[in-house]
Amino acid sequence: MNRLMLTAVTVLSLAGLAQAEVTEEDLAKDATTVGDVLTNGMGRGLQRFSPLETLNKNNVKHLVPAWAFSLGGEKQRGQESQPIVYDGIMYITASYSRLFAIDIKTGKELWQFDARLPEGILPCCDVVNRGAAIYGDYIYFGTLDARLVALNRKTGDVVWNKKIANYKEGYSYTAAPLIVNGLVITGNSGGEFGVVGEVQARDTKTGELVWTRPVIEGHMGTYKGKESTMTGTLNATWPGDLWKTGGGATWLGGSYDADTDTLVFGAGNPAPWNSHLRGAGKPVEGNKGDNLYAASRLGINPENGEIKWHFQTTPREGWDFDGVNEVVPFISRDGKKRFATADRNGFFYILDREDGKFVAAYPFVKNITWAKGIDKNGRPIYVEENRPGDPTAAADGGKGQQVFAVPSFLGGKNWMPMAYSQKTELFYVPSNEWGMDIWNEPISYKKGAAYLGAGFTIKPLFEDYIGSLKAIDPNSGEVKWEYKNSAPLWGGVMATAGGLVFVGTPEGEFKALDDETGEVLWTFQTGSGVVGQPVTWEQDGEQYVSVISGWGGAVPLWGGEVAKKVNYLNQGGMVWTFRLPKQLALAQ
């Protein structure tokens, strides 16, 4: 591993000034403190809302660059990370499983860790990393060869390095870890390779496994080194042995609802994509073809990994509508504790926080074709003729009937995190308006090989835009305003008490919008597409905003006609940090 280290004198001087270790209490308060950013999502509930209001609608035009840091070299590609800020240092992960420590006052590199990636890694959707976690004196992040690494946050030295899964079988890891009560909790990636989705919890100090929870029925969980319980009921919703390679990768990580002491993780697409092979291709009695718990949200006990509840957004899934998108706790207008999640399938769901039960669902993208709506129990009302056809019914034994489906398999919303404003009580959802030609093909499982059984081409729905940032009222599903963008939106969103919504575009523009109207109030050209996740904090009495810029992710690799439309965009790798000067804080 190659690392650029501080000199011994600098390390010692930093250690003398260092703050205390990060505690569970610090993590629990992250959403309300303003001097640091300790968790992915700016709080473990993932609301991505800052109570800071120094920077506001009147003065955001005075926001200026403070420093910029280049990730350098040839290792560019997609930069989807969110910064962690603590003790005068910013920690940022980058493509190809790298982690940088940066002085937040100067933008100077303090140290760098490069994971030694083996030949033959199999990341499906670019070489991205979405962020780190901090606890005690350690900084944690995952690698593309499905490992979890703990580093000393002051020096970058490796404390422990643990294997999550076997990368040769198609597993990888790209999400930011989640830390709760001294456990570092991870999912896994690799759903296109017939892997089995799983959530793991490890001791933060040693990296030793405490519990594991596979999320596909029939697999056994573990607790403290011994088998605990089976996930679901063997063959209850899967035919034959397909559960053994059933997919459901937990590749986006999870959130934590402290009020109910519940981890909430999403499970990705079932494998293979060809739903006819899984008994889900046509209506069946009961829920035999639902393929639990793929395309679902799961409430998990953080102490032992037991499943408390589940809600499946797309039973009988056949379009690659992963169920991994973040689940965000909020309080509804009538005072009820609710979850909100904007699904890849194009519907915005409201669930009860106590038991995960369905409350409501609203379409948030246009022209949905695969379902007419969602029934009173939360199940889709399918349009069966818009399911990709069964290839075994084809006269030549080739591909099944092709359909045009909306949204595309990249989703009404993909991984890019939404924000919730406690000020406006609106969710700000980065979405895309696109569809796809999709068809099924014969497929058989081979370890380490793609396991789709489908072909596809993504197409834009409208000539003038694909990306759409929508302000959604979770109490009614009403879209209060919409900001349209020519290229797809693929980065995270942040809201602030100052009345601002920050978002980046693939065209390189980092923007601040009015949270009530969607009007663009400030923009800055970063030089490459923004698919990262913005954060804000207060330092020396001034408000700062940071975002990572660097075009990439799944769109250029999987986007079909959409990828051709944006192939002029340049790659990059830059951390941009902006500040509102004190003397301009009151300026109009």
Cα 36 from Cα 582, distance rounded (Å): 19
- 269 carries a ligand binding annotation: yes
Looking at the DSSP bridge assignments, the partners of residue 209 are: 202
Looking at the DSSP bridge assignments, the partners of residue 436 are: 405, 458
Is the sign of the CA dihedral 403, 408, 410, 411 positive or negative?
Answer: negative
The token duo for 135 is 């606890």
Is the sign of the CA dihedral 459, 462, 467, 471 positive or negative?
Answer: negative
Question: What residue type is 146 in one-letter code?
Answer: A
- 320 carries a ligand binding annotation: yes
Nearest to 479 by CA among 426, 415, 421: 426
- 24 carries a ligand binding annotation: no
What are the DSSP calls for 268-316, one per residue? --BSSS-GGGGT-SS--STTTTS-TTTTEEEEE-TTT--EEEEEESSTT
* CB 511, CB 523: distance < 8 Å: yes
**Cβ neighbours of 304 (radius 10 Å):** 15
Cα 428 from Cα 50, distance rounded (Å): 14
- Which helix (H) or strand (E) is 494 found in, with range? strand 493-496
Q: Which residue carries 């009222």 as its tokens?
A: 473
Please report, for residues 24, 280, 327, 339, 346, the alpha-carbon distance to residue 179 in angstroms, rounded to integers and kept in the order given. 8, 36, 16, 20, 30
Question: What residue type is 237 in one-letter code?
Answer: T
Among 145, 257, 290, 320, the one annotated catalytic: 320
Cα 28 from Cα 47, distance rounded (Å): 13
- 441 carries a ligand binding annotation: no
Q: Are strands 262-266 and 296-300 parallel, antiparallel or unpaired?
A: antiparallel
Helix (H, G, I), strand (E, B) or coil at 180: strand
Q: Is 540 a catalytic residue?
A: no
Query: Greatest CA span in the chain, whole angstroms?
Result: 75
Quote the radius of gyration of the chain (alpha carbons, Å): 22
Please report, for residues 43, 50, 215, 404, 493, the alpha-carbon distance to residue 55 in angstroms, rounded to integers and kept in the order given. 20, 11, 42, 45, 16
User: What are the residues whose beta carbons fall under 8 Å from the beta carbon of 284, sequence distance 6 or more?
Assistant: none
Sheet containing 479-485: order of strands: 419-420, 427-432, 467-472, 479-485
Residues involved in catalysis = 320
Residue ranges of the annotated binding site for Ca(2+) are 192, 269, 320
Residue ranges of the annotated binding site for pyrroloquinoline quinone are 80, 130, 174, 414-415
Residue ranges of the annotated binding site are 80, 130, 174, 192, 269, 320, 414-415
